[in-house]
Structure 1
Amino acid sequence: MSEAVTRPGITTDALLASLDPLLRAWLPRQRWFAGKGHPITDFTLVAATELLPPTSELGLLHLLVRVRQPQVPAQVTGGAAPALPADCYQLLLGVRRELPPRLAPALIGHVTRGPLAGFTVYEAMHDARMSAFLLEALRMQARVGKLRFERDPRKDIGDDLAPRVLAAEQSNSSLVYGDTFILKLFRRIVPGVNPDLELPLMLAREGCAQVPAPAAWLLADVADDLNVLGVLQPYLKGTADGWEMALRELAAGRDFSGEARALGRATADVHLALARALPTVTLGRAQMELIAEGMAERLDAAAKAVPALQPYAAALRTTFEALADLGRGEARWTAQRIHGDLHLGQCLRSPAGEWSLIDFEGEPSRALSERRMPQPPVRDVAGMLRSFDYAARSREPWATDWAGDCRAAYCTGYAEVSGRDPRMDPVLLRAYETDKAVYEVLYEARHRPDWLPVPLAAIKRLATNGPATEPH
């Protein structure tokens, strides 16, 4: 079902037909497009909203477009050849008769047929007038068709904040407004409550200082489904990206364990706040067996797709078997909402030395229902341990001692706040770290083959029961 807000006489079919040839060429070139390497077979216009109706000067179209692509070869997936999911993408298209030179890099194409014939279409985020319109709509809590611009009334949103596009992202797109706010626009849209809005709102109510509180958000009601399209948050000016900072300190030969310890404390603060804000559950035998079974299935699929993993598969499987065996005993674990995709790049350090955690969307490749399920907090810990290892192995010679010091310090800091050291659950921690390394092998083999030796080194260590981080 598609819903549209357009001028009388313009149908969704006609609008999509006019844009189809341009989007087929433009979409696969975007960093956030998930189906790279596979042709587009079909478009469906889920919703279209004229935020600014095209005139002789300019217009702004908001589109939700479902994209279908052919099957993925079995040798890529490691199994049967399923069709790629029909992903829904959010597009903001500027419409002008003539594109000024400053917007030339944002060009999508010139429309030759249909209701937009004679117009030029471009990526509207690069147009300051269009970006300013989005902020004003959030500030005024506008409603346009199915789009709902909402805000926290306690937050002051100025009307004179100059916008600029943040160029560093991949799966989403962001606009910074005057070094005061950052608007993250989600590109792949999944119906339901996006954790990147849900969890920061919950944490703000808990007074959690480690996570920026949303100031406003963009929603769409389409076919009785709620879609979270974007979130406006404070822009943490002067902060350092955790990944970039770690690489700088490593390159300079400086110790990073103090920062890692502080980051461990910040992670534990967030976990405790999430446990207060949302229900927790106890994992018994059946749940732990399902977790271990899922890990083993992901290992089998990855080993089929990446031959370099196959020599280690049998040994790695024993790690997951040990977790299942542990679940059959008396041990029980608590599961809760977590970050879900925690690594150094999701952490920002202020000039005062305080760490913040951002991007609570979770792993985009996982289903939304899975991302919103309670999980053992150690999964976040394992993700950060892998991130320290990645940093240490991103340059030669590999700084294994540097990574080990950071891993130990992070766990120590976490224990200082949470009251429990993650290393006191070695079977669980090793299983989650192994599962993460298996995911990394598959990702690097598909997208960055030059990086494949990084997770494979961890795979070798984990398969041979190499030294793990010991508690102090």
Structure 2
Amino acid sequence: MTAIAYHGIVDAESQREVMEALLRGAAGLDVECTHPIVSVEEVSLEGAGPRSLSYRLLSRPYGLLAAKVYRRPPPVDREWLLLRFLAASSLPLVPRPLCRASLEGRTYMVVHEYVEGVPAATLFIEAAKQSLKTGVATVPSEAGALGVAVAAIHSALASCRESWCMPEEPTEAMVERWMSRLAIRASMIEDLARGLPADEARIVYDAASALRQLHQREWRGLLGGVAMQTHGDLHLYQVLVSRSGRIVVTDFEGEPSRQPAGAMEKEHPERDLAALLRSLDYASVLAAQALGGRTVESAIETARGELRGWVEASYRIVEASYVDTLSRAGLPGEVSRERLAFWLVERASYEIVYELKYRTGYHLIPATALLEALEGGLDWLAR
């Protein structure tokens, strides 16, 4: 749906009257609300991603709300399912869902509580910059709370007894599908590397080769643990910290370029921890780049030389609070080093495909991580 505005073509949902009409079932939409919205007073576009548009609504009677409109309605609305389940578990760590609008059985729009806060990424990048200046690893105080939040979400999801989210023992078929992602993405990386500058292309092709070799390893630990629904794309920009210090985890729709993985595939909970650790790696590079005005390649070199200890220290605090929270709840809190290492490789393989596909300029960050993984760069996890 589009409409013509004075400044050009805009999405129709950005008009107050259109948004209000859609929430009342216009254009053949089937609207389901846990808390009915009386009216929409204002609408503003907040962000546009590969799969969806995000709007901020001023509504009655709930004040500020967030609306996510899908460019192409997904076959399964992962976000609505997870938010509904977690809200029913009385978990204050996720936005409260209010309405879903569907078109021909597929979700077109989801409306939930609007959370005002600072992305955790901002806090961690600032801490990394401070660490670079002083030479002392400065970890944000929110690191422990982040581990607690992830543990609480995993604990709630582990209690699910519906087929789409009930935890189960990993099977050989599951492991085969997880492993196949590495080989498939290696080919995708090589295809997407075409057109890169020669020096960058060489690094990316080497990363694809490293991924193939990592695929050949025997990851025997993948048959252990539990497979369950997780957040699915848990990086530091998906976590908001409010003025009161409340941690809120957002955006449960999963990774934008998840292929060949399915949206509802169950995975080890270590995958969310791996995504956070990979996000800390990004934060270290972005901090180095911001301080020195460096290229991505030189920022990676600085981060590896001066912020590796900061990344490790930050992650250890997150993991320690995660394990402690699960243990206090009477749940197994052990984090498997082998499973964590595998999901770090898998996540980096996703990241490099994403960065190359959308030409963000950050493909060398996950490429470097894959090369390091092959050369023993994950050995510190066992210490």
Q: Within 1, Cα distance between the matches of 2:25 and 2:40?
A: 21
* Residue of structure 1 equivalent to 2:91: 208
- CA deviation string 1:336-372 (max 9, x = no partner): 1111111111111122222111111112333698111
* Residue of structure 1 equivalent to 2:44: 164
Query: Under a length normalisation based on structure 2, what TM-score does the superposition of the two structures give?
Result: 0.79
Post-superposition shift, 1:373?
2.0
Paired amino acid for 1:386: R
Post-superposition shift, 1:196?
1.1
Query: Under a length normalisation based on structure 1, what TM-score does the superposition of the two structures give?
Result: 0.66
Structure 2 unaligned residues grouped into runs of 5+:
132-136, 194-201, 289-301
Q: Within 2, Cα distance between the matches of 1:444 and 1:316?
A: 16
The answer on whether the counterparts of 2:189 and 2:208 sit within 8 Å (CA) in structure 1 is: no
Post-superposition shift, 1:468?
4.3
* Residue of structure 1 equivalent to 2:66: 182
Match of 1:233 among 91, 107, 112: 112
What is the correspondence of 1:392-471 to structure 2 with a 5 Å cutoff? 392-396=284-288, 397-398=302-303, 399-419=307-327, 420=332, 424-448=335-359, 450-470=361-381
What is the correspondence of 1:22-421 to structure 2 with a 5 Å cutoff? 91=1, 93-94=2-3, 103-105=5-7, 107-108=8-9, 122-131=10-19, 133-134=20-21, 138=23, 142-144=24-26, 146-152=28-34, 155=35, 157-159=37-39, 161-167=41-47, 169=49, 171-178=51-58, 180-190=64-74, 192-221=75-104, 226-237=105-116, 239-253=117-131, 255-277=138-160, 278-303=165-190, 305-306=192-193, 307-313=202-208, 315-326=210-221, 332-366=224-258, 370-396=262-288, 397-398=302-303, 399-419=307-327, 420=332
Post-superposition shift, 1:381?
1.3
Post-superposition shift, 1:200?
0.3
Task: Count residues in correspondence.
Answer: 342
Q: Within 2, Cα distance between the matches of 1:286 and 1:128?
A: 48
Paired amino acid for 1:309: V
Q: Within 1, Cα distance between the matches of 2:101 and 2:380?
A: 43
Q: Relative to structure 1, is the Cα distance of residues 352 and 145 closer, same or farther in structure 2, using a 3 angstrom cutoff?
A: closer
Paired amino acid for 2:76: V
Post-superposition shift, 1:303?
4.2
Post-superposition shift, 1:270?
0.6
Post-superposition shift, 1:248?
3.1
Q: Relative to structure 1, is the Cα distance of residues 468 and 104 closer, same or farther in structure 2, using a 3 angstrom cutoff?
A: farther
> What RMSD over aligned residues (CA atoms) do the two structures have, in Å?
2.7
Q: The residue matched to 1:451 in structure 2 has which SS?
A: coil
Q: The residue matched to 2:90 in structure 1 has which SS?
A: coil
Q: Within 1, Cα distance between the matches of 2:6 and 2:379?
A: 52
Q: Which has the higher contact order (CA 8 A, sep 6+)?
A: 2
Paired amino acid for 2:324: E
Q: Within 2, Cα distance between the matches of 1:410 and 1:104?
A: 48
* Residue of structure 1 equivalent to 2:292: none
Q: Within 1, Cα distance between the matches of 2:98 and 2:166?
A: 25
Q: Within 2, Cα distance between the matches of 1:289 and 1:159?
A: 49
Q: Relative to structure 1, is the Cα distance of residues 174 and 342 closer, same or farther in structure 2, using a 3 angstrom cutoff?
A: same
Q: Relative to structure 1, is the Cα distance of residues 262 and 356 closer, same or farther in structure 2, using a 3 angstrom cutoff?
A: same
Q: Relative to structure 1, is the Cα distance of residues 379 and 94 closer, same or farther in structure 2, using a 3 angstrom cutoff?
A: same
Q: Within 2, Cα distance between the matches of 1:261 and 1:147?
A: 42
Q: The residue matched to 1:162 in structure 2 has which SS?
A: strand
Percent of residue pairs identical: 23
Whichever of the two has the greater Rg, that structure is 1
Q: The residue matched to 1:379 in structure 2 has which SS?
A: helix
Structure 1 or 2: more strand by fraction: 1
Q: Relative to structure 1, is the Cα distance of residues 421 and 300 closer, same or farther in structure 2, using a 3 angstrom cutoff?
A: farther
